[in-house]
Structure 1
């Protein structure tokens, strides 16, 4: 990745504070879900149970769907129909357009 004319080794390079804050958010959600289970009692089931489910699922959804969307294929079309590179798709499309009766000269 190139940023400001300099090559960056990976996309998170130089963003320690932002990466650390994102880690803390997700980690605290995960720990909070485990702490919510400490309040589980046979008389109190719904509030700790729903709190656990929301925080536990939220920790994974935030990290996977919100933070981890920097290289989605919707933004950057790198691969073709079956995961092959786009140049392979172009060569396959041109070869399929050629008539089967004509011999291939290579």
Structure 2
């Protein structure tokens, strides 16, 4: 996609922030999964899955738009659905007995 020169710093900033979200979200997901493997607590499994879904969702819209040509609104809808699902799974992890 072509970006106007004035929007270029914003586009670069967005790419940097989304990359950092992917890295930090991946690290959190990894540690939650590692804790699950150590303790075998179902709540930690749900937590890892939930953070993985949120992380994927937060990065998905831009990737779909830029790499696959999916309309931006469709990408944002899919992103929001994954974030919602991730939050529901995280909430579930808080109620596992």
TM-score of the pair, normalised by structure 1: 0.47
Q: For residues 46 and 23 of structure 2, what CA distance do their matches in structure 1 show?
A: 18
Q: 2:62 aligns to what? A: 67
Q: For residues 61 and 39 of structure 1, what CA distance do their matches in structure 2 show?
A: 23
Count the aligned residue pairs.
Answer: 66
> Gapped runs of 5+ residues in structure 2?
74-97
Tell me the CA shift for residue 16 of structure 1: 2.4
CA shift in 2, pair 1:20/1:49, >3 Å: same
**RMSD, aligned CA:** 2.9
Tell me the CA shift for residue 38 of structure 1: 2.7
Runs of 4+ in 1 over 4 A off after TM superposition: none
Task: Point out the structure with the larger helix share.
Answer: 2
1:39 aligns with 2:30: no
Q: 1:51 aligns to what? A: 47
The C-alpha deviation readout for 1:25-65, integer Å capped at 9, x for no partner, is 122111101001232213xx12210111011122222222x
Tell me the CA shift for residue 69 of structure 1: 4.7
Bigger RCO (CA 8 Å, 6+ sep): 2
